[in-house]
Each structure stands twice: as C-alpha cells, then as structure tokens.
Amino acid sequence: MTAIRIENAKVVIVGGSSGMGLALARRLLEEGASVIIVGRSKDRLAAACGDLAHHPKLETRAVDISREEDVAALFQDVGPIDHIVSTAADIEGAYQLLPSIELAAAQRVVESKLYGPLLLAKHGAAHLPPSGSITYTSGIAAYRPAARGSVVAAVNAALEGLVRALAVELAPIRVNAVSPGWVDTPIWNFVAGDAKQATLDAMAERLPAGRVGQAEDIADAIRFLIGNGFTTGTILHVEGGHRLV
C-alpha cells in the first residue's frame, strides 16, 4: 500500500475559520501541508490566521460557497490542489419547531450543507489528482432527529446521499463524510444559547463515551479519510456512541 502523504499537500478547508475546520487546519499545518481556509467573514478569517500564528503555509479566501461564480473563481485562483474539506454549516435560525420555521433560514442550511458541497465538487474535482479526496461533514441529526431539528436532519441525510453518488461519479477521487455527534464548538451558541453548557453536560452523561466531542476528535477523523486511499463513499461516525442510546 502506498501511503497518501500530507506533507506538502495543498488542502482547501471550507469553514476552517472556527471549530472543527480550524482544528483540522492546525493539525495539517503541523504535518507540513499547505492550507487554504475559506469562509465568508473576513474578520473570522483574520482571527483564524491569528489563532494559527500566521503560519507561512496558511492562506485565506473570502468566498460564499452558495454562489457558483464565487466557487468557480476560488478554484481558478488556487490552481492544483490535493484535498477539499468542508465543515461549513449556516444553521442560525434553523432550529425551530415546525410552525416557526422560516423558509429563509432553512434555505441557508441547504445552501451551506448541500448546494455548497455540490458546487465544491463540481468546480473543484478538476483541480484534484486521482489520489485526491473530498470530505464533507454531515451529522448525528440524520440518525437521531429531535424536535426543532427537522431541517438539519433532512439536509444531513441528503448530503450523505450526495457523498455516495459523487464517490461513484468522481472515482478514483475519493469522496467521504464525517458524521459528528454533539461536539463542543461555537455552533452550539446558536443551538442552545445560554443553556449550551448544561445541554452538553446532560448529553455527556448519556453517551457511552462519557463525554461530548471536541473539535480535535473530528479533525482526527477527517485526517484519516484524507489519508486512507481505500476509503470512499463512506460515512464515518464520530459521535461517542450516540446512535446506540
């Protein structure tokens, strides 16, 4: 087996300015990769550069992946790459009971977690080598849906269907997804607000792993999928046993 080396690889991470994407960027930079963090907010991108000590192999691009022309321009700008990762998710306002769901909030989830990944594959695949990969993030909501989570559950499930289809169409480029469980990242500020810590603590008591996830747990799983040349069309569950309880 020929190992897929990450040293000197060029990796685009969409959503890399915080949480799981930022943790992955840090790990890949430590391993010698060149990393391009993509996000919509220039302020968050600048903060991520500071968090990563303005690493010389780090670049940023301000791009809205729901806009096809922006995605096409991104890949024309960065040129040949080795791997694409997307951890982006715009869920603000989406966690509502059915009577309160606003279509605009639901559309933002679809754009960030389904249309955006589709456009990344459409315009990015031609820039990848045969040994390259595309890795997305779905989530436990597709398997353990709850009240207020119908939109996110539906979009996560749809993304996993896209992964399987793209793995066939884009072969030998590998396409996979990590499905995180409850992970302590800033996204919980939108989901639970001031009750964030109490909510996470209650889940930790339920999980077989005895804790909720950390961003580094998901970064480790994505790193595996990037580097394993015999894994494609796969959903890697990293959720502390949540599907069992």
Q: What pLDDT shows up at residue 191? A: 75
Q: What pLDDT shows up at residue 167? A: 98
Is the residue at 105 inside a domain?
A: yes
pTM above 0.85, yes or no: yes
Q: What pLDDT shows up at residue 1? A: 56
Is the residue at 119 inside a domain?
A: yes
CATH number of the domain encompassing residue 39: 3.40.50.720
Is the residue at 207 inside a domain?
A: no
The DSSP output letter for 171 is T
Is the residue at 203 inside a domain?
A: no
List the chain residues with pLDDT less than 50: none
Q: What pLDDT shows up at residue 44? A: 96
**Nearest alpha-carbon partner for 212 in 14, 17, 20:** 20
Chain segment 193-241, per-residue pLDDT in tens: 888 999 999 999 999 999 999 999 999 999 999 999 999 999 999 999 9
Q: What pLDDT shows up at residue 119? A: 98
Q: Give the domain range for residue 107.
A: 10-186+214-240
Is the residue at 179 inside a domain?
A: yes
Q: How far apart are CA 167 and CA 172, in angstroms?
A: 8
Q: How far apart are CA 147 and CA 105, in angstroms?
A: 16
Q: How far apart are CA 221 and CA 185, in angstroms?
A: 16
What's the total number of domains in the chain?
1
Is the residue at 195 inside a domain?
A: no
